[in-house]
Structure 1
């Protein structure tokens, strides 16, 4: 069940977030990753492998078309989570890390992708809570997800303790 409303992300306090442990918080909107996105990402990261940036050559390759870089897909995490969840008492959110990243299937460029966001762990730390969000990147009309990752976010509620 998608608990996010059509008007924006689900707003929860850090205390309310703790009550969601083990469940799905919601789904982001569907979005397409286009050739221009892969080209820009490839140029920025110096990863211009032909399966991502050369549609003519990629048409003859193993996927029959260009596919998104795995790290491009993973880098959507911040935007996708922001569509699903707003921790209302947090004064700052910090990307703390990523665990258990897998790319079970390609993300064909032009295809629609979204993230299912679940809460798999949460713990207190001085100044806030650290949430482990389990993201499953779903591709429209494709059985396997293109990415599965546990994203660690730190929600700070006391800004004076940010250095922890």
Structure 2
């Protein structure tokens, strides 16, 4: 894991990749648990028999479940030191480019996109890519904005 020491350190890394997480696998139990928590029980996610005859030949991970893995992957890739607070500020861009079939292995990759200093804190924009093992296209890309307070 890489440690980022303050805003100057992060700013010096604009345009650079911070690293890649470990691979993780999401099974049907994980998908069902996410469906229960979010009340999203669409058949393509939870009905294994119907999904077997569907467009992907199996159930697929919810897009928002895939997106929700960003904090897990981030914690494996980097930490930010020297801040009194780190706040999720928002997302500039999210795209789900490829469905994630149940049992696929996923990992995250992070690049520092921008640092915007302001009176109320500093916005750090990180470009996250969630890759699927063996696939050319990623499952998801997202620009995550974090507000850092020194």
Which structure has greater strand proportion? 2
2:42 equivalent to 1:33? no
2:149 equivalent to 1:133? no
2:115 equivalent to 1:122? yes
SS of the equivalent of 1:96 reads strand
Give the 5 Å matches for 1:62-141.
62-126=55-119, 128-141=121-134
Q: Which runs of 5+ in 2 are unaligned?
A: none
1:11 aligned partner? 3
Deviations, residues 124-161 of structure 1 (Å, cap 9, x unaligned)? 1235421111011100011110101101111221xxxx
Alignment TM-score, normalising by the size of structure 2: 0.94
| C-alpha distance in 1 between matches for 2:118 and 2:146 | 12
| C-alpha distance in 1 between matches for 2:111 and 2:81 | 18
| C-alpha distance in 1 between matches for 2:99 and 2:105 | 12
| C-alpha distance in 2 between matches for 1:26 and 1:129 | 22
| C-alpha distance in 1 between matches for 2:40 and 2:56 | 18
Aligned residues: 149
SS of the equivalent of 2:31 reads helix
1:144 aligned partner? 137
2:36 aligned partner? 43
2:147 aligned partner? 154
| C-alpha distance in 1 between matches for 2:2 and 2:119 | 25
SS of the equivalent of 2:135 reads coil
SS of the equivalent of 2:3 reads strand
1:4 aligned partner? none
Q: Residue 113 of structure 1 contacts residue 138 of structure 1 at CA under 8 Å; is this kept in 2? A: yes
Alignment TM-score, normalising by the size of structure 1: 0.87
2:53 equivalent to 1:60? yes
SS of the equivalent of 2:138 reads coil
